[in-house]
């Protein structure tokens, strides 16, 4: 079957300032739950050196390994290549392109918090990712 006859998977970009917490969790959940039916990116307007250790621990509890992930810098190209751009507190640092769908998820920042404080943020992100999949018409993987 030719890939040109298959509708292209929607592309989602998650953005937060450091790309070390919220956007990494959201991208990981969308990757796991959406599989190859969605393309996923994450980036930060001022990326940190590493993913937040409490975020790595909280996601490991959910069965997702973020230990090898590294924060990435937000580029105009990444925004332009995405159908949906979800910001998580980066404000005006996100470039705007007409025709893209922009959502802003107000979520607590896990920076400087322990795993106990990160768990409810993780769980809220998973809930929102499941809602996003439903909006995109993609059934979440079990």
Residue spans of the domains in the chain: they are 8-132
Q: Give per-residue pLDDT as tens, 25-42.
A: 999 999 999 999 999 999
16 is catalytic: yes
Among 12, 16, 107, 125, the one annotated catalytic? 16
What pTM was computed for the model? 0.91
Longest dimension (CA), the chain: 49
Among 94, 107, 118, 121, the one annotated catalytic? 94
94 is catalytic: yes
Pairing of strands 39-44, 101-104: unpaired
Structure tokens belonging to residue 15 = 């953005």
pLDDT at 5 over 60: no
19 is catalytic: no
Pick the CATH number of 8-132 from 3.40.50.2300, 3.30.450.40, 3.40.50.2000, 3.40.50.300: 3.40.50.2300
Confidence of residue 92 (pLDDT cuts 50, 70, 90): low
Sheet harboring 11-16: ordered strands across?
39-44, 11-16, 84-87, 101-104
- Backbone φ and ψ for 123, nearest 5 degrees, come out as -65, -40
Among 90, 118, 132, 133, the one annotated catalytic? 90
């Amino acid at each position: 079957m030719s890939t040109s006859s298959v509708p292209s998977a929607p592309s989602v970009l998650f953005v937060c300032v450091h790309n070390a917490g919220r956007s990494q969790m959201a991208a990981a959940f969308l990757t796991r739950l959406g599989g190859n039916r969605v393309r996923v990116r994450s980036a930060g307007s001022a990326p940190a050196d590493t993913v937040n250790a409490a975020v790595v621990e909280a996601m490991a509890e959910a069965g997702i390994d973020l230990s090898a992930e590294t924060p990435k810098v937000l580029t105009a190209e990444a925004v332009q290549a995405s159908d949906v751009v979800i910001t998580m507190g980066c404000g005006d640092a996100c470039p705007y392109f007409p025709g893209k769908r922009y959502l802003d998820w107000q979520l607590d920042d896990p920076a400087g918090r322990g795993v106990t404080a990160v768990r409810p943020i993780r769980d809220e992100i998973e809930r929102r990712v499941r809602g996003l999949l439903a909006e995109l018409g993609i059934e979440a993987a079990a």
